[in-house]
Amino acid sequence: MADSLDVDAMIQRFRDRADAVKSRPLPPVAGEERASFVRQAQLDYQDFAMMGDAAGSIEDGVLVLKVDLRPQDARG
C-alpha cells in the first residue's frame, strides 16, 4: 500500500474537506441541535485543516505526517 499511496494527494483531500466544512450550510435546526452542529463543524474544520497543513512522507513503510503547531512567527 505504501507504494501506491500518494501522500500529497491525501493531504490535498484533507484541505478540500476543510474547505467543504467551511462552506457547509447549516441545516434547519435550532437551539441545542444547532449549537451541536456548529461545534462539530468547528472540530471537523480544525482537524481537516490541521491535516491539510501537514508535511507528509513515507519512511520505512510508515506514513509520517508532521504538523507544525508553533505560531507562524516562531517557525523556522
22-33 pLDDT per residue, tens: 998 988 889 999
Residues in the chain: 76
Using an 8 Å Cβ cutoff, are 6 and 37 in contact?
Answer: no
Q: Tell me how far apart the alpha carbons of residues 15 and 3 are, in angstroms, rounded to a whole number.
A: 22
pLDDT at 61: 92
**Does this model's pTM top 0.85?**
no
User: Tell me: the pLDDT tens digits for 23-62?
Assistant: 989 888 899 999 999 999 999 999 999 999 999 999 999 9
